[in-house]
């Protein structure tokens, strides 16, 4: 069990060590979100407004990531919360996906409405703000890149900033086209492109969060393969009630009942089973119950 506890601490530290970078990215994006929102109103650009809305979800997502890190840190010292509040970051990621989906739908609906009669847009100020937005997103992207592989919530913020980076490029293109040709349709077209770019990423983030919340097996693990590997451990006659799930990003958990062979050694079976789970499947937190083969009624299989 010590390995599982240590791994949980590692997951918590993974969020805490990126706290400073998250705060820096939060400050950059929050400040520039306000600039883009004001500029969108002054220039009449829907593309700029969509970028500001996208940036708002970035700011909200990073804010929720910071809140989740703080809550998990406090809960880890509370004996009543035996798993801490690791799921907070997953809930925050799911909420972020829902909000991002709403922004994308709004932009798409508004863009379709504008196709009927596209309003004039002030291309010069729009271009200046879009270039500045691109630089802000590049800065936030570089700050979050290091933690994207260690935390689902940081990864969500990182992916949103990446999307914002591309949407800023799109706004720059729209502003340049309008400035050179007065073709006002460029603004709603880019807004639609940004909205369509947001939706697939939102779906993937939401699906990843939901898999954790419904305690589905991690997508990279085959439960049948895990069961067969445990059954092949010397001294194990059978395996049942096997469950594998993700507690939070980077922390897979397993529980299983092992039926001991008649000459099976309890200590060797437990050690060998944990070793298999660790080496082959990367599962460091496992709760294993060993049962004698001929002990009737020791365990009623739940069939879960």
Domains 2-213 and 223-292 are alike in CATH topology: no
CA atoms within 13 Å, Cβ hemisphere of 42? 13
- Return all residues near 280 (Cβ < 8 A) that are at least 6 apart: 229
Mean pLDDT (the chain) is 82
Among 3.30.70.1350, 3.40.640.10, 3.30.2310.20, 3.40.630.10, what is the CATH number of 223-292? 3.30.70.1350
Residue closest to 291 by CA, chosen among 255, 231, 237: 237
Compute the radius of gyration of the chain from its Cα atoms: 25
- Return all residues near 80 (Cβ < 8 A) that are at least 6 apart: none
* pLDDT tens figures, 208-253: 889 999 999 999 999 999 999 999 999 999 999 999 999 877 788 9
pLDDT on residue 156:
67
Contact 96, 156 (CB under 8 A): yes
pLDDT, greater one: 55 or 228: 228
Region of poorest pLDDT, from 10-14, 169-173, 208-212, 239-243: 10-14
Q: Name the band, by pLDDT with cuts 50, 70 and 90, for residue 166.
A: confident
302's enclosing H/E stretch is: none
Domain 2-213 has CATH 1.20.1510.10: yes
* pLDDT tens figures, 60-96: 777 777 776 776 666 556 566 666 667 777 887 788 7
Sheet holding 251-260, edge to edge: 236-248, 251-260, 285-292
258's enclosing H/E stretch is: strand 251-260
Residue closest to 19 by CA, chosen among 58, 57, 73, 55: 73
pLDDT on residue 196:
83
Sketch the domain layout of the chain as residue ranges.
Answer: 2-213, 223-292
pLDDT on residue 175:
92
Rounded alpha-carbon distances, angstroms, from residue 250 to 15, 150, 209: 11, 7, 12
Q: CA-CA distance, 304 to 95, in Å (whole number)?
A: 29
Burial of 170 (0-12, 13-18, 19+ CB in 10 A): buried
Most confident among 49-58, 141-150, 196-205, 261-270 (mean pLDDT): 261-270
For 119, phi then psi, to 5°, come to: -75, 160
Query: How many residues in the chain?
Result: 304
Average pLDDT over residues 18-41: 88
Q: CA-CA distance, 291 to 238, in Å (whole number)?
A: 10
Q: Is the alpha carbon torsion for 226, 227, 232, 235 positive or negative?
A: positive
Average pLDDT over residues 192-203: 82
Model pTM greater than 0.85? no
């Amino acid at each position: 069990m010590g390995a599982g506890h240590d791994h949980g601490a590692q997951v918590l530290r993974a969020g805490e060590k990126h706290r400073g970078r998250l705060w820096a990215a939060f400050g950059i994006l929050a400040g520039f979100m306000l600039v883009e929102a004001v500029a969108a109103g002054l220039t009449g650009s829907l593309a700029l407004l969509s970028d500001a809305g996208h940036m708002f979800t970035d700011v909200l997502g990073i804010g929720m990531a910071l809140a989740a890190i703080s809550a998990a840190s406090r809960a880890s010292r509370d004996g009543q919360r035996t798993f801490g509040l690791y799921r907070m970051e997953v809930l925050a990621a799911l909420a972020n996906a829902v909000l991002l989906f709403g922004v994308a739908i709004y932009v798409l609906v508004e863009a379709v409405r504008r196709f009927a009669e596209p309003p004039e847009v002030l291309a010069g100020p729009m271009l200046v703000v879009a270039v500045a937005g691109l630089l802000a997103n590049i800065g936030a992207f570089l700050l979050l890149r290091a933690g994207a592989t260690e935390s689902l919530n940081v990864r969500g913020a990182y992916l949103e900033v990446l999307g914002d980076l591309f949407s800023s490029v799109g706004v720059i293109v729209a502003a340049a086209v309008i400035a050179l040709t007065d073709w006002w349709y460029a603004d709603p077209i880019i807004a639609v492109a940004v909205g369509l770019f947001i939706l697939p990423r939102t779906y993937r983030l939401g699906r990843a969060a939901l898999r954790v919340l419904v305690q589905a097996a991690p997508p990279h693990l085959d439960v049948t393969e895990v069961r067969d590997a445990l059954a092949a451990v010397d001294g194990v006659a059978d395996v049942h009630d096997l469950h594998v799930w993700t507690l939070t990003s980077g922390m897979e958990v397993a529980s299983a009942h092992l039926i001991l062979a008649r000459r099976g050694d309890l200590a060797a079976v437990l050690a060998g089973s944990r070793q298999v789970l660790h080496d082959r499947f990367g599962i460091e937190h496992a709760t294993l119950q060993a049962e004698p083969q001929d002990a009737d009624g020791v365990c009623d299989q739940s069939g879960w």
